[in-house]
Amino acid sequence: MSRYLGPKVKLSRRVGVPIADVPKHTAKELTLPGMHGYRGRRNTEYGVRLTEKQKLRFHYSMMEGQFRRFLTIAKKSKGNTANTLIQLLETRLDNVLRRLGVARTIWAARQLVAHGHVLLNGRKTDIASALVKVGDTITFKEKIGKLLRETMEQNAGHTVPNWLEWNPAQLTAKINALPVPEDVPFEVNMNLIIEFYR
């Protein structure tokens, strides 16, 4: 599976919003990348929709093919396509770890999973894009406990969303419900993203 290996702050600058909640992304004025940045370019309707789609894609650190596949699944399922897409993206294992506060960025969360430190329902899982379901439990291998506690200290102000039940003392989590669009910690216009793929 391919992944983006280039500079991460450039992605935040490209879409104009921080895609990771760390000082490197949030402390800077997010001007367009390049020496001259924005030079009076006018955004088209297509450009507005593209930027909105890229914002969501970069936030979850996904390649275009994978993102498109998730959208196809959301379109085929019953109910609101936008809500279903958000649920699929939010319930990816790497994103759940980020929401719990055990990893500061999506890239750190992916590394935790890829190195085999995460147990999903008691079984080792090294697939970052694995989808969790209501009732699933997430635990960690003992040897990684110290590192996770250090990360949680750095993320002292982090709040865990209501759809997750988190026990920091035992380092165990449970999925209590499916997330809703309001649980996404940044503004995104899902209608523009769906329109982009029409």
Residue 123 has a pLDDT of 92
**Hey, what CATH topology would domain 93-177 get?**
3.10.290
Domain with CATH 3.10.290.10 in the chain: 93-177
Domain boundaries 9-88+186-196, CATH class? mainly alpha
Q: Each residue's pLDDT tens digit in the chain (198 positions)?
A: 577 888 888 887 788 788 777 766 776 666 666 666 666 667 788 988 998 999 899 889 899 999 999 999 999 988 888 889 999 999 999 999 999 888 888 998 999 999 999 999 989 988 988 999 999 999 998 888 888 888 888 877 788 888 999 888 888 999 999 888 888 877 888 888 888 888
Rounded Cα gap, residues 167 and 103, in angstroms: 15
Query: Apex CA 143: angle with CA 139 and CA 149, to 5°?
Result: 70
Q: How far is CA 144 from CA 113, 115, 128, 147, in A?
A: 11, 11, 17, 6
pLDDT digits (tens, 9 = 90+) for 72-104: 999 998 888 888 999 999 999 999 999 988 888
